Chain A
Amino acid sequence: MRRAFTIILTLLLAAAAASAQRSYASKDAAFVDYLIGNNMEDDAVTLLTRSRYYASDTLNYLRGWANYSAKYLEEASAAFDKVPQDSPFHDKSLFFNVISNAHLGNYARSSELLDSYSGPYAELKSLEQAGIALLEGRAADFITAADGFTFSQYALTESERALQGIYNERYYGRSKSPVLAAAASAVVPGLGKVYAGELGEGVASFLTVGSLAAITAENWAKYGIKNWKTILFGAIGTVFYIGNIYGSYVSVSIHNDELRNVQDTAILYHIHIPLRSVFQ
């Protein structure tokens, strides 16, 4: 019986040894950089998730970085979360974690991460906080964060100016009013579309509604208001007229949403680009 246990124990140890052929992720850091730098981000993710490595800060950082580069942002954020504060990779992990969450729309988590940071990159923190505040529509918090802008650091200056410009455009710029567009189309069909910046659609709307109105008027004058053609073209014309008013309202709303999306994309760009320079 004792011999049997000895054999089992030996096999157990052999199995453990066979499964424990692990290595340190730091040994593969250069290779991972090579993969990411040559557009093989998926290969980097495969390497770091399917190979056997000892658990380490480096492994978590590399997993975060590879997933971030491959645009697997949830996985990137989960890996960056595991990099502890005393790790040399902590600052870079935290800021890229902020960006990952911002891209995922988890602005609260981005803010939480920034609030917890007290390292040497204070102005970068201000820039990120300002960007997140703008994305969340918190104007007062943007002003507070923008107090930290010195416009003197080469890597940050352009992005600081860009965020300031977006803030001014968003809160002090002249935005288009959907109600005004609808009113303009009620007075002159198609004018609201022109106001929304869609000249071609505005002209087409004017010609369509105008033609239907002219046809209705002709039939009304010749055959009276109760004639079927007057009623038919009058009804079609009315539908087009009301539809044009509503369409003008929607067009300006879409225009405003698109402008906001463009601004949000620019904000995400400007809070991301400095990280590339700072953590080169």
Chain B
Amino acid sequence: MYRTLLSFITSIFLCAAFSSEAQERTDWALKAVQYERAAFDAEDPHDAAEALVAKAECYKQLRRFGDAAATLGRVSMYMLTPERRDDVLYEKELCSYLAGDFAGAASYMEEAGDAAAPRRLLLDALVLGECARWDESRSRAETLLGTLYGGDELEGARRELDALFARVPKLKTEKQAVFRSFLPPLGHLYTGHLSEGLVSTGLNAAAAGWTVWQCISGNWITGILGGGIALSSTFMGGMARSASLVEDYNHDAMRGFNDALRALLLQHDFAE
């Protein structure tokens, strides 16, 4: 009884003594600062570079990918071995991609040069997809599948990829939407909004009809001023709406395709 009580109390004290240390182990924000201090105190630039890479890893754990990318941007790349440099460039590309900075990710991808490792090929394919560089994205995805499979398995995976890239989104332009809007409802139809286009056409027709009717009735002021105000509102409004729909359309089309591409590629086993 006495020994049990003693061991119980001992356990409590040991837990109390080390619980704070355990908490500290998961305090990634403080760890990030400690790595910054290591970089600050480092006499060897190589150590400083490695400390910053470790700090970026802490930010990744905190899901602060933009901060991670910025921290990696401070790493002196010439202090690293070629292999380590490739690792850091991959991390830069990955963090930029996860932070939504696709242009930045693409620039790191180009800085890293041709990819051979599956993880790089996967990331490159996703980044290029986000940049709407479909042919290059497909090429990387095909190379990636080639590193993973052979024979019938490769053919099967390629067929899936072909099926997906057959549905590459055709992005619309605002200029084209505005141009087509001169003949309602073609501006709305351009982005597939038929019902909204028909409503817009109805409003334009009503405004134009009112103008003509009033002018025929001899009410020139009412026709020209009243109809003119109404028609300009419906016509110009339809034009502006068509242009704004292009942005939504492109965003949805890109998101849908890139989500499908990511889902397709991530179903494969990338264990290196």
Contact = CB atoms under 8 A, between A and B. Distances in A.
Interface string B28-49: 0110110011001000000000
B107 to A, nearest CB: 22
Contacts of A34: 40
Interface string A1-39: 000100110011011001100000000000100110000
Interface string B12-38: 011011101100000101101100110
Q: How large is the interface on B (under 10, 10 to 19, 20 to 34, 35 or more residues)?
A: 20 to 34
A35 B36 contact: yes
Nearest to B17: A15
Interface stretch (B118-126, B194-202, B219-227, B244-252): B219-227
Given A14-B17, A15-B16, A19-B17, A46 B29 contact: yes
Given A11-B14, A18-B17, A31-B40, A229 B33 contact: no
Consensus secondary structure, chain B interface: helix
A15 B27 contact: no
A40 interface: yes
Contacts of A211: 225-226, 229
B2 interface: yes
A211 B6 CA distance: 96
Contacts of B18: 18
B9 interface: yes
A40 B225 contact: no
A43 B21 CA distance: 20
Contacts of B220: 218
B10 interface: yes
Given A214-B221, A218-B222, A233-B222, A208 B14 contact: no
A7 B3 CA distance: 12
B222 A229 contact: yes
B49 to A, nearest CB: 16
A215 B220 CA distance: 9
A219 B226 CA distance: 12
Contacts, number: 67
Nearest to B222: A215
Interface in A75-93: none
B229 A208 contact: yes
B13 A8 contact: yes
B12 to A, nearest CB: 9
Nearest to B220: A218
A116 to B, nearest CB: 35
Interface in A26-62: 31, 34-35, 40, 43, 46-47, 50-51
B67 to A, nearest CB: 9
B36 to A, nearest CB: 6
A238 B48 CA distance: 73
B17 A222 contact: no
23 contacts: A4-B5, A4-B9, A7-B10, A8-B9, A8-B13, A14-B17, A15-B13, A15-B16, A15-B17, A18-B18, A31-B40, A43-B32, A43-B33, A46-B29, A47-B33, A47-B37, A50-B30, A208-B229, A211-B225, A217-B221, A219-B219, A222-B219, A233-B226
The 8 closest A-B pairs by CB, nearest first: A11-B13, A15-B17, A211-B225, A218-B221, A47-B33, A18-B17, A50-B30, A215-B222
Given A211-B229, A215-B221, 7 more contacts: A4-B5, A7-B10, A15-B17, A18-B21, A34-B40, A51-B30, A208-B229
Interface of A: 4, 7-8, 11-12, 14-15, 18-19, 31, 34-35, 40, 43, 46-47, 50-51, 208, 211, 214-215, 217-219, 222, 229, 233
Interface of B: 2, 5-6, 9-10, 13-14, 16-18, 20-21, 27, 29-30, 32-33, 36-37, 40, 218-222, 225-226, 229
